[in-house]
Amino acid sequence: MQFTGSYVALITPFSADGKVDERAFQDLVAWQVAEGTQGLVPCGTTGESATMSHDEHRRVVELCIEVAKGKAVVMAGTGSNSTAEAIELTLHAQKAGADAALVVVPYYNRPTQEGLYQHYRALHDATDLPLIIYNVPARSAADMSVETMARLAELPRIAGVKDATADLARPIRTTLAVRTPFWQLTGEDITALPHRAQGGHGCISVTANIAPGDLVLMHRAWDAGDFATAARINQRLAPVHDAMFCESSPGPVKYAASLLGRSAPSVRLPLVEISAAAKTRVETAMRQAGLLN
């Protein structure tokens, strides 16, 4: 399986009573598929997996698969700072029919590089899905080195990385270190094109929740060698990318999705709905990019 192009780090809409809005979520997934999004990532950071119960987590993965199976790659977020819990969530995703699992570097524990290796090795040996490492030091307080990633890439089902370091030297250094096929996806929208220029293969995007078609076209243009078109789309969306992180994510993107009628703006505590100033910034960026009339 190839992991390339535009993936979306799906938000999880909530209803007025605070529960998962299953209809809104499946409508969002269906829209993503219709717009051509190559991959869907439920229950990642943007999906507020940290505040989901295990039952909710499993249900959201199942809801995504119901709509998208066979139409786009479903890469379920299954990471945890407990190896046993990550295995449990990955086994559920596997049974439910996911195509791959996105597994965050264990947070809070601050494992050594050997601990990181053994965590992913245990996951690999206990499950059958392709595993994508999610390296996000700003959230996990642990940064997987290129050397550890190269060790892990020797295992047949360690398929790639979602890199949220914003370090544009990483993809080329990883390419040089890893001697097997290894898919590199950035987790930073603003770096999507330079990441591809350095050897990356695509992006797991927050902005794709509200601009899926544009980002599909951008990656298709890049793949076709139409770098001018890709650059124009990237430049137009750059203020939107920045606005999506003007406060703690996914607050800004959920507000943006609410302006499109795709989700309520609500997030779960300890996150709160974004400020009035942030709302103005998000709406202004969307209007300037042509995402709102």
The residues annotated as belonging to the active site are 134, 162
* CB of 201 closer than 8 Å to CB of 185: yes
Q: What Å distances lie between residue 1 and 39, 157, 159, 175, CA to CA? A: 12, 11, 9, 18
The closest of 194, 206, 204, 213 to 37, measured between CA atoms, is: 213
Q: How many residues does the chain have?
A: 293
* CB of 78 closer than 8 Å to CB of 54: no
Q: What Å distances lie between residue 272 and 38, 194, 251, CA to CA? A: 31, 33, 7
Distance CA 7, CA 85 (A): 25
Q: 183: which strand partners?
A: 160
Distance CA 159, CA 156 (A): 7
* CB of 90 closer than 8 Å to CB of 117: no
